[in-house]
Chain A
């Protein structure tokens, strides 16, 4: 090797920040997004870095738990995973469409006429569910801006935002457009105990620090699997790494969730399947919270009991956070 060999890393670092715009935007005052989000108290962004660690299922569970936390709680869930939206399926809302009203796009309500759990995803905008959304950054940016400024969320106590993996266009766009409401933003990081996932979670944490986004805490998902046959716990993806990372980085550890096949099946089944398995609910005249099938069935899973603590931890972190943060 000759002295021509140079380390390329330095090159890369000098340009590894695509974020000048965000800081710039923070100084701006009122925008269509800030006007629309005026009526939203807390905005929680669910991040992971790695794909398939359970961001969407955590987002869904967080929304359901916050919804349940009080009979009047109003929750929104926004899916900004534009090329792989999973939230409609998980909430059993596959095939629903979004309607335009004089006051903007009407979100899809997962709890029917109660209209306390509003959901928006690009999945509702596709003609066929297998259509691919092949968009580069600028179009994704436009879509996210519309989601934030054009959706008629109404008064919300919490808006949970599910993100795609990585730290790229979608994440930068979210932060950029929501810069005027930065004081109400916070995040939750999801990881699995594997080294590869923890590494990406660490990148994610670096991201939140770079953009000054408060982290409410860390959740370790897929931490162990209980054999339905003999009850033996297998650490399919190892265990404990999340808690260790939280301790090292001074983050609040919100809790760990084992793989729960019941939950996987519940979130994976379509609404139709759920109804057919629930003849008791079938004769209802209209959907209300009492017949919110998903929630009823979710409450019976073992994950629901564990997640209750996590959700309370999130709420506690929100209450502690100084308003100016």
Chain B
């Protein structure tokens, strides 16, 4: 059988077969290390040189009270939509300062969803100014930096990481009560970087988003595994698109059938909280395309009520 190596361990390409990984405490000392050309580097006890940007990030993040990640292994399940609703809901209280940071570098949707796609980022003596949706809701995304929306950002990991680091240290977030971070799908560079950059400042927790089908749940299981490996607290799971009410006959049908029990079963199996289920409402997608707040436009819809309950529960869990 061919098997992938321990996924988290950092194994260089020229490593021997049973390399324990460069981050392992056995690095350079395990039996397998004998004869490896990197053995000396691994074995030397010098702590790895910390990223020089870390102190700056820590200083900038000192004025941010709560940092929340929105994660999902799978794409298109509603991470950005949820992030935007969460931001809007927090910012509905004028006293609360909220920031949204979009670290999806190759597919930034946040500017469109928040209706600020044509804005640009400016820099001042105190750093890059976020784009403000309203005076207590600031946003940063790579979408503000592209000459046109059709331009593709074709970057490999290190460049993406560099930009994420800049978002954290160079953006003049000011005093924030909440910073909500929207992530791309998967468990790769962006996710590792944001976790590493925020390690010292502390991440308050992650909200995981899923849809009811097994293909999405599979990816969310992997994301839970990731959170546990890197030590991020999981605030809970949100199930999106969990039913569809036909506008014609008002009958509810399941577009994405929970063939394996959906988010509820997943939450039970993995020992995490199901924060709530949001039904599929075509108006959510429309609001996102037009850049208006679904919660403000349709406050009485079942989806809005579900969203608000989930957001209240998140605040409760955080103790706010």
Report A's interface with B, CB cutoff 8 A: 1-2, 4-13, 15-19, 49-53, 56, 81-84, 86, 89-90, 97-100, 105, 122, 125-127, 129-140, 142-143, 164-169, 171-172, 192, 194-197, 199-200, 202-207, 210, 225, 227-230, 232, 234-238, 259, 261, 264-265, 267-270, 273
Asked if B188 is at the interface (CB within 8 A of a chain A CB), the reply is yes
Residues of B within 8 A of A5 (CB): 122-124
Name the one of B2, B4, B107, B125 contacting A49, with C-beta atoms under 8 angstroms. B107
Closest to A168 in B: B106
Q: When chains A and B are docked, how far (Å) is the Cα of A264 from the Cα of B253?
A: 13
- Docked-complex contact B259 and A6, CB < 8 angstroms: no
The residue of chain B having its C-beta at the shortest distance from the C-beta of A53 within the complex is B76
Q: Which residues from chain B contact A142 at a C-beta distance below 8 Å? A: 13
Cross-chain contact of A131 among B214, B215, B225, B230 (Cβ < 8 A): B225
B154 contacts the other chain (Cβ, under 8 Å)? Answer: yes
Is B73 an interface position by the 8 A CB rule? yes
If A50-B109, A130-B224 are given as contacts, then 9 extra A-B residue pairs at C-beta distance below 8 Å, sorted by A number, are A11-B145, A12-B145, A15-B159, A17-B154, A52-B75, A165-B186, A169-B189, A172-B154, A236-B280
Q: What A residues does B222 contact at CB under 8 A?
A: 83-84, 130-133
**Shortest distance in angstroms between A221's beta carbon and chain B's nearest beta carbon?**
10
Asked whether any CB of chain A lies closer than 8 Å to the CB of B7, the reply is: yes
* CB-contacts of B177-230 with A (<8 A): 184-189, 191-192, 211, 213-216, 218-219, 221-226, 229-230
**How many Å lie between the Cα of A207 and that of B74 in the bound state?**
22
In chain B, positions 72-101 with a C-beta closer than 8 Å to chain A are 73-77, 80
Q: Which residues of B contact A202 (CB under 8 A)?
A: 149-150
Knowing A167-B152, A273-B259, the reply to whether A132 touches B215 (Cβ < 8 A) is no
Q: Which of B7, B147, B248, B280 gathers the greatest number of chain A CB atoms within 10 Å? A: B7
* 13 A-B pairs whose Cβ atoms sit less than 8 Å apart in the complex: A6-B123, A18-B154, A18-B156, A18-B159, A49-B106, A51-B76, A130-B222, A132-B225, A164-B186, A195-B288, A197-B76, A232-B248, A269-B259
Write out, one digit per residue, whether chain B residues 115-145 have a CB within 8 A of any chain A CB (1) or not (0). Answer: 0000011111100100000000000001011
* Distance, CA A49 to CA B223, complexed state (A): 21
Residue of B153, B188, B255 most packed against chain A (CB within 10 A): B188
Nearest Cβ on chain B to A195's Cβ, whole angstroms: 4
Is B253 within 8 A of A86, CB to CB? no
Interface size on B, residues (CB 8 A): 87
In the complex, the chain B residue whose C-beta lies closest to that of A237 is B285
Q: Which residues of A contact B288 (CB under 8 A)?
A: 194-196
Assess the A9–B1 pair: CB atoms within 8 A: no
**Contact among A49, A131, A259 for B7, CB-based, below 8 A:** A131
> In the complex, which residues of chain A have a beta carbon less than 8 angstroms from the beta carbon of B285?
194, 236-238
B58 at the interface (CB under 8 A from A): no
**Known interface pairs A142-B13, A196-B288. Does A52 touch B122 (Cβ–Cβ under 8 Å)?**
no
The answer to whether B289 touches A194 (Cβ under 8 A) is yes
Contacting residue for B146 out of A9, A138, A267, CB 8 A:
A9
Q: How far is the CA of A88 from the CA of B135 in the complex (A)?
A: 47
Q: In the complex, which residue of chain A has the Cβ closest to the Cβ of B248?
A: A232
B160 touches A168 (CB 8 A): yes
**Which chain B positions have C-beta within 8 A of A9?**
120-121, 144-147
Chain A CB within 8 A of B249 CB = yes
Q: Is the CB of A134 within 8 A of B7?
A: yes
Q: Which residues of B contact A199 (CB under 8 A)?
A: 109, 112, 149-150
